[in-house]
Structure formats: C-alpha cells, structure tokens
Amino acid sequence: MTMESDLSYKEKCDCARSNFCQYVNQADNFSLSEKNYLTKVIVNDNISGILYVSSVLAGWTFIAGLIDSILFPGIIIYAIFHGVIDYKVLTPPILFVLSNIIAKLIYISISLRGKVKTYDIFISVLPYVGSAYLLRKFLIKDKLMSKAVYAYLKTKKQEIKNRFLKHLKR
C-alpha cells in the first residue's frame, strides 16, 4: 500500500478490508495526496459499504429483470390464450415485486444501518433505480471520488466479463 503516513492505524486497517480502497491505493492514475484524500473519505464516510451495497443492488436488478422478462410476458401470453386476467394470474408477479421490495428493504437497512437516512433506503428499494440512486447520492458529488468510482466499476465490469467469457469457453 502506498499511503502517506498521516493516516491513522484504524484508517489503514479499514482500507485494507475494502476492495475499493485497495484499488484506489494501487491505481497509477492518482497522486499520493489524491490517494490519501480518497482513503480518508472511503473509510470515514463508509463509501466502500455504499459502493458494495450499490453493486449488490445492480446485480439484484439484473436478476430481477430476467425474472420480470419471463414473468410478465408469460401473463400476457396467458391472457391472450385464455382471454382473461384474474387474481390467480396476477398473484405471482405481485408477490414477486412485493417480496423483492421487502427483501431489498431488509438488506439495505441492515447493510447501511445508521449510514444513510430512512428516505434514502426507501428510494433505494425501488425496482431498477436503487443502485443508481445510491451512487448518485453518495459518491458522485466529489469529482475525484466520481473518477475513482468510475474507474473501479469499469475494472470490475471487465473482470466479470472476463470470468463470464472464460466460463463460456469451457
């Protein structure tokens, strides 16, 4: 780690536990003073926790989107062939949406307990916008932090893409 000495022992330890903080400190595109500033912000404002929850919500949204893309067209096809939509047909998607929202509410509340306001949690549970909301609200205000988050997410996206392609080549 190439951190300046004015970081406390606790900040150094917190940084060592954060993948995002480790990425920032190993990146070549930040000066030592920028790395020090970013490290302090990351560990003191729990930015890595918000980034982690945001990335989990992004993956969650992808999976929920796949389920939605099967569930809702299935209802339309059923309605076309049977000529009716009743409670038996609408119950599964309504239960899925409600359970998805409740599960996200519980997950975000536990993961970010005391770090975000209640209305931020409620906005974050909305389908398809939670991840983007958390990123915009807590990470993108600071230009340097925005640059670091963008570079980190770009790297993570490439890692996931490479793993996926490696898995397909088997």
pLDDT in tens, 104-143: 999 999 988 888 888 888 988 887 788 888 888 877 777 8
Question: What is the pLDDT at residue 3?
Answer: 45
pLDDT in tens, 74-99: 887 877 787 777 777 778 888 888 99
Question: What is the pLDDT at residue 4?
Answer: 46
* Rounded Cα gap, residues 70 and 64, in angstroms: 10
* Rounded Cα gap, residues 164 and 144, in angstroms: 30
pLDDT in tens, 115-126: 888 888 898 888
* Rounded Cα gap, residues 83 and 76, in angstroms: 10
Question: What is the pLDDT at residue 105?
Answer: 92
Question: What is the pLDDT at residue 110?
Answer: 92
* Rounded Cα gap, residues 124 and 108, in angstroms: 8
* Rounded Cα gap, residues 22 and 14, in angstroms: 10
At 5, the pLDDT band (50, 70, 90 cuts) reads: low
Residue ranges of the domains in the chain?
1-44+140-170, 56-138
